[in-house]
Structure 1
Amino acid sequence: MSSAGHILDMIKRLGQNRSLRASNRLKFKGDNRETIYSGTDKHNKAIFKEFPKEQVEQAVNQIKQDSKVKRRKELTFLISIISVTSILMIYWIISSTDYSKKPQVKDIVLSPPKIWSGKQSDPLKVPFSNYFYSPFTVNMEFEVQIDKSYTMYDNDMVVDNTINILFFDNECNFIGKLLPKNGYISWMFVGPTKEGLGPKKVLYSLSEMDTNNDGFINENDRPNLYMSELNGKNLTRITELGLSSIQWVGKGNEIQIKFNHAKESNDSLYGIFNTETKEIKFTNTPFQSE
């Protein structure tokens, strides 16, 4: 082959190589899709359908909304489970706590029991005094008359569902109520009962607040230990802690309280309350008489 032939052959090859460049190749768009199915019947060809933008946005928003509803249902279910579990735990704690249990009263001298008619017109004598009192019950609040008699003891001077105490003087004139607003009184007694000890005071286990939030003030609410004069005046809270025993010590002007949260005898907690100064001191050792 001559030199001229070689030159023409090189020019021809350069032209072929130029046609094979990537920039000159057909791209997969537009009419190029038709070449894929060039040997396929028109009825069997794939159809590339475009959806309106509004329809696509509507579908996406619906998916998002469905997802939110699903998450909301799952959250509601979880909250319901937690609420039910919490209610069951609270009920178990309340049911396992006997707030109405009366603490042991040491060195108490009991008089014979009395029979009370349950009527305010027939008040009871306050021990060691010239005053009288009458338990005020739920039935009295709603003016429901019940023909019933009660057996009363010196160490438990109230009846079931007592919500207040009415006090009267020696001529049975009304002095006043123990509480300005009704609560729940699970027990009441006067001490010290031994001769020569005093001054005499009235002690109460009294619930003033709805501590378990059930809408009522009753025996299921946390009680506090209170003290008043024999006529119901000067009501004073002594402590809010649970008690296992109460004992007048010293000259009868102090009350030793043993708290029931101590589970071991060597881990006991006592409170010494002075009925005159109305102060309480805590100690791990019981009162030692002189």
Structure 2
Amino acid sequence: MKKFLSFGQDVNANVGTGGMKTKSEAATQSLMLCDEAKKNEILEAMAQSLLANKEDILNANLIDLEKAMVSDVMKDRLKLNDQRLNDMVQGILDVVKLSDPTGKILNERTLENGLVIQKVSVPLGFIAIIYESRPNVTSDAATLCIKSGNTCILRIGKEAWNSVNAIVQALQEGIEQCGVNPNIVQLIQDTTHQSANELMEGVAYIDLLIPRGGKNLISRCIEHAKVPCIQTGTSICHIYVDDEVNQDMTIKIIENAKYSRPSVCNAEEVLLVNSKVANDSLPKLKKQLDTYPVELRLDDRAQKSLMEQKL
């Protein structure tokens, strides 16, 4: 597996906007020549390359896990294994099945002089994605960018750098096998705050910045970014139980959302239950969740519903 060198070595320290400009332009032009079939070919090659380099990726992840000075929850987010790597591969293949979002006519009108004006979906360009210690996000981000015709540059936290570097190298190998510039997916080698700051300030180089992580990361990007930035969510996931839904199915959904993998950012945290079904559903839910180390923190009305059922 070849060593991927940061464009930060071209010009300037860290990110190096001069090198970024050169590499991103060449990569973007390479991707612009790809039709839907070619993009899907690239994605399938990326998926196969992940499988082919599974051992290298998992070994790199072990290095990160040994070095990481983080909580058990964060280590679970950082950890890769055969199943999680297979899920990453399947995620890429699932995107292959989706229709191409580019080149679609969204709106069309004809002026009195016969001039036809169309609104057509096109790629955004060069997308920077800053995320924390979740290696699996790497393939998700790269896949969605390529499917939508965008080149991307990724910036990961230091805890997951070895894992992500191995993943990006594997993705690039798959891309290159298709005769396409592998720099349509790039990884910043510098994990200091300075590299993130340069991405936030990369006017004329970065077309869109997407932060994916905790509240502090997102707030920092929103406050300091000089480039267009998407404000993503910061967890606090709710489930609402309506009075007309299938209660048995509801309990299964809540059980899965809360305990299938509690460490992820989209695990359920708040449950709202319609008062018409609270007396029936809450005791059933508590009985099911009591089999797990899950603590129910109830408001007065919910507590009363449980107590009345016990009586």
Q: Do these two structures clear the TM 0.5 threshold for a shared fold by scoring above it?
A: no
Report the TM-score when normalising by structure 1.
0.21
Q: Quick check: which one's strand share is greater?
A: 1
Report the TM-score when normalising by structure 2.
0.20
Greater RCO (CA < 8 Å, at least 6 residues apart) = 2
Q: Quick check: which one's helix share is greater?
A: 2
- Rg bigger for which structure? 1
